[in-house]
Amino acid sequence: SRTYVVTGAASGIGKTNTQILRAAGNTVIGVDLAGVEVSGDLSHREGRLTAAAEATRLANGTVDAVIACAGLSIPKPVTAAVNYFGMTEFLEAMQPALTTSPAPRVALISSMASLQPVAPPLVEALLQDDEQAALAIAEELAGDPQTGNLIYSSSKQAVSRWVRREAPKALWAGAGIPLNAVGPGTVITPMTQELLASEDGRKLVDSVVPMPLNSHQAPESIANLLIWLTSVENTHCCGQTIYCDGGADVVLRGDDI
Ligand code: NAD
């Protein structure tokens, strides 16, 4: 039995993750805005640090794995704050608690949207860990309906690049901690409920996220992969974003690797 910290545990993929892990006898400390063990707001630095400290305290100082699921898809600056810093800064704050585990692991949720058009200045500001600059750029993108959706894709491309950049460093690989991401296609959760409810909405998502293998996916398809990436068995996956998206990545990128 292992002790997991799961962000976004109140809904969707994070909730499914929590249920599967608990059914297998593990301890899960959930982090979300409300309704789970740790109530915290990952959209700002203080909220991230307070939530990480509280999760560490509830785990008595030792955490075996952290799975970061909390995210937003609305075309607003807060999406950049939660999807990037709500993962990177929270994970860094959890790192000391992982070092006392015999098999520490970390995984987060990116998206196949990381492969879609982005706003390069926003991606760069995020990767420079300049939250103020990133929020200012996102504010401008949010003001135009043509560019608002670039906030989501940019946040996901940045977090996948952060995983590649940071995974081999002393904090993660050097401390024996595999750090990886999963890139889902269209998952049936409260986040996509409204979009998938209408024929027009389904046509729209399917045109940007083609899923020839089994179409829209259940949250279990992602949760089980996150659970493997954070299991004792994962000894050598490092810095990857594993696309589990019904084929969207291969349709869009072909045989380019
Ligand atoms: P969801 O909306 O069901 O769950 C997201 C959770 O994140 C919610 O419980 C929400 O309260 C929490 N959250 C949002 N803002 C927060 C904040 N400031 N502080 C703390 N918690 C906060 O959505 P989901 O579909 O389960 O999404 C989980 C992850 O998967 C997200 O990162 C999302 O971007 C990603 N993803 C989802 C899909 C999809 O099709 N549903 C596709 C690709 C990637």
**110 C-alpha to ligand 1 centroid (Å):** 10
What integer pLDDT is reported at residue 89 of this predicted model?
Answer: 98
Distance 72 CA to ligand 1 centre (A): 5
**Token code pair at residue 100:** 């006392």
Q: What is the pTM of this model?
A: 0.98
Residues in the chain: 257
Tell me the pLDDT tens digit for each residue of 236-255.
999 999 999 999 999 999 99
3-245: CATH, from 3.40.50.300, 3.40.50.720, 3.50.50.60, 3.20.20.70: 3.40.50.720
6: nearest Cα among 58, 62, 74, 55: 55
Domain map (residue ranges) of the chain: 3-245
Helix ranges (H only) for the chain are 12-23, 45-58, 77-80, 86-98, 120-127, 131-142, 150-166, 193-197, 199-208, 219-229, 248-253
> Relative to the CA of 16, which ligand 1 atom is closest?
26
Confidence of residue 229 (pLDDT cuts 50, 70, 90): very high
**115 CA to centre of own chain:** 15
Task: Mark whether 84 is an active-site residue.
Answer: no
Instruction: List the structure tokens of 26.
Output: 């593990």
One-letter identity of residue 149: N
Residue nearest to atom 24 of ligand 1 (CA): 12
155 Cα to the center of ligand 1, angstroms: 13
pLDDT tens digits, residue range 69-101?
Answer: 999 999 999 999 999 999 999 999 999 999 999
* Residue 217 per-residue DSSP state: B
| CA–CA distance, 45 with 49 (Å, rounded to integer) | 6
With cut-offs at 50, 70 and 90, classify the pLDDT of residue 204.
Answer: very high
257 pLDDT exceeds 80? no
Nearest protein Cα to ligand 1, atom 28:
69
| CB of 119 closer than 6 angstroms to any ligand 1 atom | no
Q: Is 221 in the pocket of ligand 1 (CB under 6 A)?
A: no
